[in-house]
Homo-oligomer: A and B are copies of this chain.
Amino acid sequence: MSILDKIFPAATWMRAYERGNLRADISAGLTTAVMLIPQGMAYAMLAGLPPIIGLYASTIPIILYALFGSSRELAVGPVAMVSLLVATALTPLAEAGSAEYVGYAVVLSLLVGVIQAGMGLLRAGFLVNFLSHPVVSGFTSAAALIIGLSQLKHLLGVDIPRSHHIHTILIAAFERASEIQPITLAIGAASIAALVVLKKRAPKLPRALIVVATTTVIVWAFDLASKGVAIVGDVPAGLPTPSMPSLEVDTLTQLAPTAIIISLVGFMESVSVAKAFASKNRYEIAPNQELVGLGVANLGAAVFSGYPVTGGFSRTAVNAQAGARTPMAGIFTAVVVIGTLLFLTPLFYYLPKAVLAAVIMTAVFGLIDVHEVKHLWKIDRTDLVLLLLTFGGTLSLGIEAGIGLGVGASLLWFVVQTTRPHAAVLGRLPGTTAYRNIERHPEAERFDGLLILRIDASFYFGNVTFLKELIRDAMAKQEAPVHTVILDASSVNRLDSSANGALGEIARSLRETGVRMVLAGLKGPVIDALEKNGIYRDVAGEDPHLSVHDAVEGVLSVPPPAGDAEPRSLLRNAS
């Protein structure tokens, strides 16, 4: 692979492009565009932006991703979650829909582009791992609820202030029940019903387009706009002109935290979708290249009056189902959207906003993940607590704080666990060379005067105190006096200087009381660390043992240092 191929992965697939793929790519591109146009406008509305911005974001950014990304099927563009994050960040700064607000959205795209491309070049894609599955699930469910309810105002035709507090929205809706516009509600409810039924009965039909077209015609035919149904109105024709986003330090500082969250959340959503389809079609995506691809797409959004984009789940599924074979499909999608911008915008004049709300609501309520809650209840209640904490945190404190809380709590829990690791006293399974926890295997043989301990963790500054106490307590619990402690160090993956020093101290203080310490199953990096500290012979014994069994054999063939027991003759079964 040449350097050019690495920087510009499109070179590879373009050079090898087969004419046979063209038809499939065109068909997939068209199908995706038909879905993208109503969704793009709907999600822009969710982000508090004029619908046209959603279309702008569906042009150049898609083409750029096709050139720099590594997925063949990924459909990039506006998505619900990122749109919600944009709204949350910008609402306090400017009035939704104003020119100032649009300006902020453009700056946000720029920041997201720089962060994602930068992370990709620095190969920092692994950072996304810290968004664990329970955190993502809890956060997504909460965000879906917030997004869905944020559309209630369009569905009811009532003015409800934006809020991430569910009860605030519901109370406001209830208080203004008398102002509900029956025609708007009827159109919205019918659209939701149609979208749900079509999804079940005729999943291959372009349901969003059908509902959008039908309701637009109805509103136009019966002049419902004059009867209070809110419509999209003038959508300016033509392409966005390239411009430089304004770069004020204050604005950049204010938007930076959200930009980081959008970069990570957007990348995570995108990369998991891309991976799912890559594995289905037996190829690999490169996470850091994906970051570069999304970053460049967002830089494109910044220059061409868009707002932050990423790869979305539902459109990618449609794109793959419609037969997309190469990123060329994405380029065709963009071409269709550009055509629409040039010639078809007048058609959107009578499109009711309630229908866009219906599109958003049906899309996001499917994201509320009750199954995961049940699953975690069964397999891992700690992770369930983390899920619910993130869910609750997102609903009560807001999106960013909710994610932050979830990530912080999962890392803290991970670290706290390592300070009090699981440990076991081992015995030999009869007739084998395997040593197992005597509590789980009561048949395991024990040896008088020998304490075999396994501690299931790497040793580091966070658990050295625990380690010392554990050895002391385990020795105190033995019936016969202990002359040798064998520590199964096969779980010890690394030693920092604190643990390194502590092992030396433990060996020394045991030796002072006439007890020998033997480390078994030491791994290479741990041996290296002990040797550098000059205590390898001290803590591992004269003849380093490969396994617990070797250590036991070594110890039993050598008389105990105190000489007051004859362990070899005292083999006994604990059961």
Q: Which of A406-444 contact B (CB under 8 A)?
A: 410-411, 414-415, 417-422, 424, 429, 432-434, 436-437, 440
Q: Which residue in B132, B417, B461 is a CB contact (below 8 Å) of A494? A: B417
Known: A378-B532, A434-B547. A383 touches B496 (CB 8 A): yes
User: Please, how many angstroms separate the alpha-carbon atoms of A351 and B145 in the complex?
Assistant: 71
Interface flag for A133 (CB, 8 Å): yes
- Kindly report how many copies of this chain are found in the complex they form together: 2
For the complex formed, measure the closest distance between the CB of A158 and the CB atoms of chain B, giving whole angstroms: 41
Chain B residue numbers with a CB within 8 Å of A456 are 458, 493-494, 523, 525
Identify which of A422, A529, A550 gathers the most chain B CB atoms within 10 Å of its CB: A422
Whether the Cβ atoms of B376 and A497 lie closer than 8 Å is yes
For the complex formed, measure the closest distance between the CB of A534 and the CB atoms of chain B, giving whole angstroms: 8
Whether the Cβ atoms of B496 and A380 lie closer than 8 Å is yes
Whether the Cβ atoms of B463 and A129 lie closer than 8 Å is yes
User: Please, how many angstroms separate the alpha-carbon atoms of A304 and B547 in the complex?
Assistant: 60
Interface flag for A359 (CB, 8 Å): no
Q: Which residue in B433, B440, B457, B458 is a CB contact (below 8 Å) of A433? A: B433
Number of interface residues of A (CB under 8 A): 64
Which B-chain residue is minimally distant from A498 (CB atoms)? Answer: B133
Whether the Cβ atoms of B546 and A496 lie closer than 8 Å is no
Interface flag for A126 (CB, 8 Å): yes
State the main secondary structure of chain A at its contact with B: helix
Chain B residue numbers with a CB within 8 Å of A375 are 497
Interface flag for A130 (CB, 8 Å): yes
Q: Which residue in B424, B509, B524, B546 is a CB contact (below 8 Å) of A279? A: B509
Identify which of A421, A437, A490, A496 gathers the most chain B CB atoms within 10 Å of its CB: A496
Whether the Cβ atoms of B461 and A133 lie closer than 8 Å is yes
Whether the Cβ atoms of B411 and A546 lie closer than 8 Å is no
Interface flag for A464 (CB, 8 Å): yes
Q: What is the 8 Å Cβ interface bit string for chain A, positions 353-393, against chain B (1 contact, 0 not)?
A: 00000000000000000000001101110110000000000
Q: Which residue in B129, B378, B415, B434 is a CB contact (below 8 Å) of A546? A: B434
4 smallest CB-CB distances across A and B, nearest first, come from A132-B461, A456-B493, A380-B497, A383-B497
Whether the Cβ atoms of B462 and A497 lie closer than 8 Å is no
Q: What is the 8 Å Cβ interface bit string for chain A, positions 482-513, against chain B (1 contact, 0 not)?
A: 00000000110110111011000000010000
Sample 19 A-B pairs with CB under 8 A, ordered by A number: A126-B419, A126-B465, A132-B460, A134-B461, A287-B465, A379-B532, A380-B500, A380-B529, A414-B415, A414-B496, A415-B415, A422-B523, A422-B525, A433-B547, A434-B546, A440-B524, A456-B458, A456-B493, A491-B491
Chain B residue numbers with a CB within 8 Å of A462 are 129-130, 132, 414
For the complex formed, measure the closest distance between the CB of A355 and the CB atoms of chain B, giving whole angstroms: 38
For the complex formed, measure the closest distance between the CB of A466 and the CB atoms of chain B, giving whole angstroms: 7
For the complex formed, measure the closest distance between the CB of A289 and the CB atoms of chain B, giving whole angstroms: 14
User: Please, how many angstroms separate the alpha-carbon atoms of A525 and B436 in the complex?
Assistant: 12
For the complex formed, measure the closest distance between the CB of A277 and the CB atoms of chain B, giving whole angstroms: 14
Which B-chain residue is minimally distant from A490 (CB atoms)? Answer: B490
Chain B residue numbers with a CB within 8 Å of A546 are 429, 432, 434, 436
For the complex formed, measure the closest distance between the CB of A458 and the CB atoms of chain B, giving whole angstroms: 8
Whether the Cβ atoms of B379 and A500 lie closer than 8 Å is yes
Q: Which of A121-159 contact B (CB under 8 A)?
A: 126, 129-130, 132-134
Interface flag for A168 (CB, 8 Å): no
Interface flag for A533 (CB, 8 Å): yes
Whether the Cβ atoms of B498 and A134 lie closer than 8 Å is yes
Chain B residue numbers with a CB within 8 Å of A417 are 494
Chain B residue numbers with a CB within 8 Å of A380 are 496-497, 500, 529, 532
Whether the Cβ atoms of A411 and B419 lie closer than 8 Å is no
For the complex formed, measure the closest distance between the CB of A312 and the CB atoms of chain B, giving whole angstroms: 21
User: Please, how many angstroms separate the alpha-carbon atoms of A134 and B496 in the complex?
Assistant: 10
